[in-house]
């Protein structure tokens, strides 16, 4: 994949002007900040006053995580400090939802989630965890931003929880398939609405040449599977990507498949036992294919299934 495509570089000057006084009070360093104002008119760069690591860390805690991505390009010092923060991320969660229900369109953040400036993507970041919410009606721009953001954090992550669609997205991103083409393919699948007809739709990819493991240090992996995601369990094999490219089988301590039911299951039961039996048979087939792909036999008791 190409390097992370960031939005327009946010202005550090704008951030300081709107936040510096609040940051001063939190750090207790008003005197050092005021000294900057006295030297503001001095053009000589050698006399510039530099912020301490403590001040920079406080600034980074108060800004959007998407700004941090962009600020890595400001200088080697910025990249070192920001990467150190990203390398502390041990828990990663990513899901598809209607983001309009989480954050009003006119708002850029609510104190927990921050909106990407050019994609339908929300992110929450704290000391050891990161959460991504991508809009359920995603675009090619959205999926590229999400893939590249997860890719940046993946090396340090120990605990991962992903929506099944995002597992398929990452697998496609590691394959020979272009993500724009993959998005078009997903749009076609959406017209089938998770029906049995989707089982016969496949893609053809040449074997992946990716050598590195995407989540090299993950020990606990959870895949959340909705009722429209069952065909994707089998479809992962179509991308010609070995599951060991996604995670290390030897390091996995727990691999969980979490099946999330909806009102549709109750409706099937109302139609009778035969309909429910066909549904369970279809689900079992896809699950068996998925277990074969991840190497569940090698996981033994480290593999489990959860239902809710």
Boundaries of every domain in the chain: 12-63, 91-307
Q: How far apart are CA 9 and CA 67, in angstroms?
A: 8
pLDDT at residue 4, as a whole number: 43
Q: How far apart are CA 202 and CA 212, in angstroms?
A: 26
pLDDT at residue 44, as a whole number: 47
pLDDT at residue 300, as a whole number: 95
Which band of pLDDT confidence, cut at 50, 70 and 90, is reported for residue 10? Answer: low
Structure tokens at 195: 């029906």
| 210 Cβ contact partners less than 8 Å away, ≥ 6 residues apart | 174, 241, 245
pLDDT at residue 134, as a whole number: 98
SS3 content of the chain, % helix, strand, coil (to 5): 50, 15, 35
Q: How far apart are CA 245 and CA 210, in angstroms?
A: 7
What is the rounded average pLDDT of the residues 266-273?
55
Q: pLDDT tens for residues 169-202?
A: 999 999 999 999 999 999 999 998 878 889 889 9
More confident call, 124 vs 49: 124
Which band of pLDDT confidence, cut at 50, 70 and 90, is reported for residue 273? Answer: low
Whether residue 54 is predicted with pLDDT greater than 70 in this model: the reply is: yes
More confident call, 162 vs 108: 162
Q: What is the pTM of this model?
A: 0.81
């Amino acid at each position: 994949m190409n390097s992370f495509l960031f939005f327009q570089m946010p202005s550090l000057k704008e951030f300081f002007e709107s936040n510096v006084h609040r940051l001063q009070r939190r750090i207790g360093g008003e005197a050092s900040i005021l000294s900057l104002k006295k030297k503001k008119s001095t053009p000589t760069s050698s006399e510039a006053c530099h912020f301490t690591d403590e001040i920079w860390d406080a600034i980074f805690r108060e800004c959007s995580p998407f700004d941090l991505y962009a600020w890595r390009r400001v200088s080697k010092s910025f990249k070192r400090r920001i990467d150190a923060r990203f390398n502390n991320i041990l828990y990663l969660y990513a899901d598809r939802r209607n983001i309009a229900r989480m954050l009003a369109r006119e708002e850029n953040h609510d104190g927990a989630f921050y909106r990407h400036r050019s994609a339908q993507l929300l992110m929450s970041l704290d000391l050891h965890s990161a959460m991504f919410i991508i809009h359920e009606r995603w675009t090619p721009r959205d999926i590229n931003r999400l893939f590249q953001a997860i890719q940046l954090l993946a090396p340090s992550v120990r605990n991962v929880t992903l929506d099944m669609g995002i597992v398929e997205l990452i697998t496609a991103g590691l394959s020979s398939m272009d993500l724009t083409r993959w998005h078009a393919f997903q749009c076609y699948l959406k017209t089938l609405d998770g029906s049995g007809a989707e089982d016969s739709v496949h893609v053809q990819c040449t074997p992946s040449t990716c050598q590195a493991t995407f989540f090299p240090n993950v020990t606990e992996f959870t895949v959340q599977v909705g009722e429209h995601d069952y065909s994707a369990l089998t479809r992962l094999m179509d991308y010609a990507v070995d599951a060991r490219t996604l995670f290390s089988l030897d390091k996995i301590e727990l691999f969980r498949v979490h099946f999330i039911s909806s009102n549709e299951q109750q409706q099937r039961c109302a139609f009778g036992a035969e309909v429910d039996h066909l549904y369970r048979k279809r689900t079992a087939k896809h699950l068996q294919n998925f277990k074969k792909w991840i190497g569940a036999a090698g996981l033994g008791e480290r593999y489990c299934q959860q239902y809710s």
